[in-house]
Amino acid sequence: DAGVTQSPTHLIKTRGQQVTLRCSPKSGHDTVSWYQQALGQGPQFIFQYYEEEERQRGNFPDRFSGHQFPNYSSELNVNALLLGDSALYLCASAAQLNYGYTFGSGTRLTVV
Amino acid sequence: KNEVEQSPQNLTAQEGEFITINCSYSVGISALHWLQQHPGGGIVSLFMLSSGKKKHGRLIATINIQEKHSSLHITASHPRDSAVYICAVVLSADKLIFGTGTRLQVFP
């Protein structure tokens, strides 16, 4: 039973570019949350998707957007990349009304 | 003030020592996770608690809902336990808030 799969694992982008990160949730999970973890910090909540809609959003600018597909997989898009967007981006999935989260291994984004 | 506070921030131990990491929170929660993060980033969920105590191998997690406090204990610590341990609380509607983590190093 595959857990949460994130791709790519590492990515280097130039300031001003756009990036798309992908997440496939654990089988049986329908809720996907995205987190940004800067070096030495705890993860910060970006947003959560359920039933293909953004259900909650953290304190992140509109440059951060997402999408959930009918198969429950999700994408995180970041436009106009800034150096400060360099971080580990984590995806976590859960089954609705079940608080047990499963985390992916993350995508490490470096903006140069 | 952060809604989730962990202590200590950094912890070093000799192999075999008993280790305790504490987590205090200031919000109402549905559950609490203890997570382990190794270098490279992948996060593993160790425990999910809503009351009482759970044990898995050398790891024990407790939670006191009234005092809004949880602890993670590691008995007979080993160098492979070296990692960052993160406490995360579950608010309503499944939103997670993370602590900043405790960096544990266990030396042989």
Contacts with B35 from chain A: Cβ below 8 Å: 103
In whole angstroms, give the CA distance from residue B11 to residue A37.
21
**Mean pLDDT score across all residues of chain B:** 90
Q: Is residue B46 less than 8 Å (CB to CB) from chain A?
A: no
| Mean pLDDT computed over A10-32 | 95
DSSP structural state of residue A69: -
Structure tokens at B63: 């939670």
How many CB atoms are located within 10 Å of the residue B17 CB? Answer: 14
Task: Please report which confidence band the pLDDT of residue A95 belongs to, taking 50, 70 and 90 as the band edges.
Answer: confident
Question: What proportion of chain A, given as a percentage, has pLDDT over 70?
Answer: 95
Per-residue pLDDT reduced to its tens digit, B58-108 = 999 999 999 999 999 999 999 999 999 999 998 765 677 888 899 999 999
| Mean pLDDT computed over A10-27 | 96
Task: Please report which confidence band the pLDDT of residue A2 belongs to, taking 50, 70 and 90 as the band edges.
Answer: low
- Give me the pLDDT at residue A72, please: 95
| Mean pLDDT computed over B12-33 | 94
Q: Which of B31, B48, B100 sits opposite A42 (nearest CB)?
A: B100
In whole angstroms, give the CA distance from residue B36 to residue B76.
17
- Give me the pLDDT at residue B90, please: 84
- Distance from the A69 Cα atom to the nearest Cα atom in chain B, whole angstroms: 20
| Mean pLDDT computed over A39-56 | 87
Q: Is residue B80 less than 8 Å (CB to CB) from chain A?
A: no
Task: Please report which confidence band the pLDDT of residue A99 belongs to, taking 50, 70 and 90 as the band edges.
Answer: low
Contacts with A21 from chain B: Cβ below 8 Å: none
Q: Count Cβ atoms within 10 A of the Cβ of residue B104 and give its class: 0-12 exposed, 13-18 middle, 19 or more buried.
A: buried
Higher pLDDT: A70 or B43? It is A70
| Mean pLDDT computed over B45-66 | 93
CA A19 distance to own-chain centroid = 12
> Is the CB of A35 less than 8 angstroms away from the CB of B33?
no
